[in-house]
Amino acid sequence: MSDFDGGERLTTQRAVGWLAFAGTLLVVSGVFKILDALWAFKYDDEVPEDVQTVLFENDLASWGWVWLGTGIVLVAAGIAVVSGAQWARWVGIVAASVAAMLFLPWIYYQPLWTILSVGLAILVVYALATYGGPRAPETPARA
């Protein structure tokens, strides 16, 4: 069975698998961001004075709110990707693309994990760009 039929995107087992993969990685990434937020809230008052960031200086609570919002959006997008929501497809593509670019500076310190992380991000972009489009009305998603 072809993935395309007269301009309409058909849902195949391969498409369902790729979308499940992308949705799962988005949900897992979102859960880890939520855990990062909880860590930031817990250790907000224990930051040494010499630890600073460019954006929020040494205020971990501000980073916690950023990571909490990001995590919630990623979890919602991961769940919505499986149902075929177009907004979730684009959120996932943007999130995975930004993640792949932000992983690259770590290649000097953790080359194996960086290559693995960038590879997974590229696979998520591929899955969402290739199989995340609108489905033909007569072909609902099959599990």
Averaged pLDDT of the chain: 82
pLDDT for 51: 55
pLDDT for 1: 39
Beta bridge partners of 53: 57
Confidence of residue 136 (pLDDT cuts 50, 70, 90): low
For 80-88, the CB contacts below 8 A with 24+ separation are 81/19, 81/22, 81/23, 81/26, 81/128, 81/132, 82/19, 82/20, 82/23, 82/141, 83/141, 84/19, 84/132, 84/134, 84/135, 84/141, 86/132, 86/134
31, 56, 79, 133 from 87: Cα distances, Å: 20, 29, 12, 10
Q: 15-24, 52-61, 109-118, 130-139: which has the minimum mean pLDDT?
A: 52-61
Residue 135, pLDDT > 50, answer yes
What does DSSP assign to residue 53?
A: B
pLDDT for 101: 92
Q: What's at 26, amino acid-wise?
A: L
Q: What is the pTM of this model?
A: 0.76
Confidence of residue 60 (pLDDT cuts 50, 70, 90): confident
What would the pLDDT profile of 19-57 be if each residue is shown by its tens digit?
999 999 999 999 999 998 998 888 777 766 655 555 556
Residue 123, pLDDT > 80, answer yes
Residue 88 tokens, joined: 């979730």
